Amino acid sequence: MATQRVLDPVIDVTDQDFSQKVIEQSRTVPVVVDFWAPWCGPCRMIGPVLERLARSANGAWILAKLNVDHNPYTASRYGIQGIPAVKGFRDGRVVAEFVGAVPEPQIRRFLDQLVPSQADTLAAEAQRLEQAGKLAQAEAAYRQALHSDPNHPAALLGLGRVLFQTDRYDEALATWQRVPMGRPERAEAEGWIAKASFRREAVLNGGEIEARRRLAANPNDLDARLALAAAMSDKGSYREALEGLLEVVRRDRGQHRDRARRAMLSIFSLLGDDHPLTREYRPQLAMLLF
């Protein structure tokens, strides 16, 4: 029985084949490029470490070695001024890099930025299932990703979306609150938090019809105005919601005013600073408050 030949994950590349072996290859598997030269002492220190890590990665990434003396075009194209220079390519572009003979732990952190983790892979599959409408399977995959990495931002964000779509608003809110601050996913999570809060309040108060009925019976019912604003926000009728909330701010100086203020700020966060409604209503709120 013939044995299958395993391809070496360490390759040499040149100016002529760089596009094919690095740029195109990185669209299917990450490629780490080691820009080096035979006379470079630090290159001889870091090269074997990169090669060992590549061969132990089981095909998770490829190491491409480029001799800058023999391939000046590519070295110039990527602005190589000092070696060793190491660049990580994914989807045809550089996504991580470092210069110099850095310690192995730093190299491993560099590789963590480049190579998708198990949680990354599971979260990506979960998002595909979510987009296909397979919510139960998506939820299971998101939870599996979070079992691997409890703080994975994309998995937390996605699980919250699935919970929201299946009417589990409290659990969705708690999940989005766990998205780490400072990550790009946090801004999207804040928008979803606002949406879920409005949805939950609208449901708890009987929805738009009940709020309008209460308000028609008593125009001074500020709780009804807040409930109607939540229902309108849930529907995406943000102008009517903002008008109603602004009226509550005008009429009250206590708890209802503070609830209306916080609801307006949530809508501004949801819409973004540059949205016309934000630019129109934020100054009006400020005038009433200050």
Tens digit of each residue's pLDDT (9 = 90 or more) over 117-149: 889 889 999 999 999 999 999 999 999 999 999
Q: Which residues are annotated as catalytic?
A: 40, 43
Q: What is the pTM (predicted TM-score) of this model?
A: 0.64
Q: Which is nearest to 127 in space by CA: 112, 114, 148, 145? A: 145
Q: Tens digit of pLDDT for each residue in 40-83?
A: 999 999 999 999 999 988 888 999 999 999 999 999 999 999 99
User: How far, in Å, CA of 71 to CA of 108, rounded?
Assistant: 27
Q: Which is nearest to 246 in space by CA: 233, 257, 231? A: 257
Task: Centre a 10 Å sphere on the Cβ of residue 51 and count the other Cβ atoms it contains.
Answer: 16
**Identical topology for domains 10-114 and 118-201:** no
User: How far, in Å, CA of 77 to CA of 35, rounded?
Assistant: 12
Q: Which is nearest to 198 in space by CA: 260, 288, 285? A: 260
Helix (H) or strand (E) holding 163: helix 153-165
Q: Rg of the chain over CA atoms, in angstroms?
A: 27
Q: Are strands 93-99 and 85-90 parallel, antiparallel or unpaired?
A: antiparallel
Given this model, what pLDDT does residue 168 score? 94
Q: What is the CATH number of domain 10-114?
A: 3.40.30.10
Given this model, what pLDDT does residue 58 score? 83
Domain coordinates of the chain in residue numbers?
10-114, 118-201, 206-289
In CATH terms, 118-201 corresponds, of 1.25.40.10, 1.20.120.160, 3.10.20.30, 1.20.1440.120, to: 1.25.40.10
Residue recorded with tokens 């995406």: 236
Residue 208 pLDDT > 60, yes or no? yes
219-229: burial string, b at 16+ Cβ within 10 Å, e else: eeebebbbbbb
Distances (CA, A) of 229 to 53, 100, 156, 210, 222: 57, 58, 28, 12, 11
SS3 category, 221: coil
Fold of domain 206-289: 1.25.40
